[in-house]
């Protein structure tokens, strides 16, 4: 488990948080540090505790144990209204009977600002989220994406120190989701606000986060940059959950060497220790193959049969099997151009090599094959 603190002083610290719902343990010993201006994504499958953790940070849920410290202030037991954050939910949660401008300015009316200042701030925020003309409209007159922009403007209105977002994009259609995720990220950087976003969409997390917190069953599996998480997953769960991956079953031969079928594979980036003969799982990403102009001495080379081609647009997945791997299947990624160049189609044999330096090795949960 990697829960190392980031080097900058923390904008938010989550220390030893756990949460029980009666006998059910929803969060266990969660520790995190968020750096100022950082965008953190909580990523994990449904029910893993993402929302519960966010709600505890917001004071909307009370932790069973542990502490939340924001900029050095212990806020663990403060009610939500005494904490310093803005929040956006999945459902737009705007007041339907208030105009867009009144929604955005809602949190400002009882503050220190006078009416003209509130008006100016609201206009500034609407400009910021690309809706400068929509102040007089009502939420029902806006699209889902526009409503979410208004919710974002409302969350930022009082210049909070922390922006919390719980699946803000998941109610939107695919195109709007991508557009708004770019906008949110840009805006977050522009404003310089520390942000935590919950998502179960790996692509969203990979594209938006400075660091991703991968959660599973109420615990943190790994914290790291998107590249770390994708290239150096710390656990089989992370490797499986983030990105596509092939799992080859084999045995340890000692050192960094492994056997899969009749093939010996040297995995230089393997950092675990495995007993000789121990069952292992080798995790290989679909893009980690060589297929064109292979020199004769290319290591980890094999002859494979294409059993299926999945056309996905600019990228395709070719499913292949090879006797050398004991018939274990691999899904390999090719660009459409490569697919044409190689004449990839069902029934075709191809000459490929595994990029073994990219393989991650984990102990096999089950016994290795004979």
Ligand X SMILES: Nc1ncnc2c1ncn2[C@@H]1O[C@H](COP(=O)(O)OP(=O)(O)OP(=O)(O)O)[C@@H](O)[C@H]1O
* Residues at the interface with ligand X (CB under 6 A): 21, 24, 26, 44, 46-52, 200
* Residue 23 contact partner, candidates Mg ion, ligand X, none, CB within 5 to 8 A by sort of partner: none
- Return the residue of 51, 70, 134, 322 that touches Mg ion, per CB under 5 A: 51
47 binds, among ligand X, Mg ion, none (CB under 5 to 8 A by kind): ligand X
- Report the residue number whose CB is nearest to Mg ion: 51
195 has which bridge partners? 39, 163
Between 167 and 288, name the residue whose CB sits nearer to ligand X: 167
Q: Give the residue among 313, 299, 311 at the shortest CA–CA distance from 265.
A: 299
β-strand pairing of 211-216 with 219-224: antiparallel
- Which residue, 89 or 283, is less far from ligand X as judged by CB? 89
Q: How far is the CB of 238 from ligand X (least distance, A)?
A: 16
Piece of 6-14, 48-56, 142-150, 267-275 that binds Mg ion (CB under 5 A)? 48-56
Name which of 51 and 148 has its Cβ closer to Mg ion.
51
Burial of 180 (0-12, 13-18, 19+ CB in 10 A): buried
DSSP codes of every residue in 254-296: ETTEEEETTEEEE-TT--S---TT-EEEEEE-TT-EE-SS--T
Q: Could you tell which of ligand X, Mg ion, none binds residue 52, using a CB distance below 5 to 8 A set by kind?
A: ligand X
Shortest reach from residue 51's CB to Mg ion, in Å: 3
CB of 32 to ligand X, least distance (A): 15
Q: Which does 139 bind (CB under 5 to 8 A by kind): Mg ion, ligand X, none?
A: none
Q: Helix, strand or coil for residue 79?
A: coil
State the burial class of residue 199 (Cβ atoms within 10 Å of its Cβ: 0-12, 13-18, 19+).
Answer: buried
Among ligand X, Mg ion, none, what binds residue 46 when CB lies within 5 to 8 Å by partner kind?
ligand X
- Residue 208 phi, psi dihedral angles, 5° rounding: -105, -30
Q: Which does 311 bind (CB under 5 to 8 A by kind): ligand X, Mg ion, none?
A: none
Q: How far is the CB of 45 from ligand X (least distance, A)?
A: 7
**CB-nearer residue toward ligand X: 166 or 319:** 166
For the bound state, the minimum distance from the C-beta of residue 50 to Mg ion, rounded and expressed in Å, comes to 5
Give 53's contacts (C-beta < 8 A, 6+ positions apart). 14, 17, 19, 27, 30, 42, 215
Which residues, other chains included, contact 186 with Cβ-Cβ below 8 Å and sequence gap of 6+? none
Sheet holding 12-21, edge to edge: 24-34, 12-21, 65-70, 73-74
**Rule CB under 5 A: which residues touch Mg ion?**
51
């Amino acid at each position: 488990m990697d829960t190392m603190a980031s080097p900058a002083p923390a904008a938010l610290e989550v220390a030893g948080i756990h949460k029980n719902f009666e006998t059910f343990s929803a969060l266990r010993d969660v520790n995190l540090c968020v750096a100022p201006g950082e965008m953190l994504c909580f990523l994990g499958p449904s029910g893993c505790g993402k929302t519960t953790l966010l709600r505890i940070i917001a004071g909307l849920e009370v932790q069973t144990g542990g502490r939340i410290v924001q900029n050095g202030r212990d806020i663990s037991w403060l009610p939500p209204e005494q904490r310093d954050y803005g929040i956006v939910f999945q459902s737009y949660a705007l007041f339907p009977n208030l105009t867009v401008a009144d929604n955005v300015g809602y949190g400002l009316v009882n503050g220190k600002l006078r009416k003209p200042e509130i008006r100016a701030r609201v206009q500034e925020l609407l400009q910021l989220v690309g809706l400068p003309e929509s102040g007089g409209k009502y939420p029902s007159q806006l699209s889902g994406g526009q409503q979410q922009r208004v919710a974002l403007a409302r969350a930022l209105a009082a210049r909070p120190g922390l922006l919390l977002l719980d699946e803000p994009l998941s109610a939107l259609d695919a195109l709007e989701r991508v557009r708004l995720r770019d906008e949110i990220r840009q805006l977050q950087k522009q404003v310089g606000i520390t942000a935590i976003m919950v998502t179960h969409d790996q692509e969203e997390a990979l594209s938006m986060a400075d660091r991703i917190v991968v959660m599973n069953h109420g615990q943190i599996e790994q914290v790291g940059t998107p590249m770390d998480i994708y290239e150096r997953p710390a656990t089989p769960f992370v490797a499986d959950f983030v990105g596509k991956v092939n799992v080859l079953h084999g045995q340890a031969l000692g050192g960094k060497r492994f056997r899969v079928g009749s093939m010996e594979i040297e995995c230089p980036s393997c950092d675990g220790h495995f007993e000789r003969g121990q069952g292992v799982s080798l995790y290989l990403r679909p893009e980690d193959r060589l297929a064109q102009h292979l020199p004769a001495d290319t290591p980890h080379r094999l002859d494979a049969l294409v059993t299926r081609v999945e056309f996905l647009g600019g990228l395709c997945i070719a499913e292949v099997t090879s006797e050398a791997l004991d018939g274990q299947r691999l899904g390999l990624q090719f660009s459409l151009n490569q697919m044409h160049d190689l004449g990839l189609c069902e029934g075709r044999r191809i000459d490929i090599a595994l990029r073994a330096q990219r393989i991650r090795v984990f102990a096999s949960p089950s016994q290795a094959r004979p």
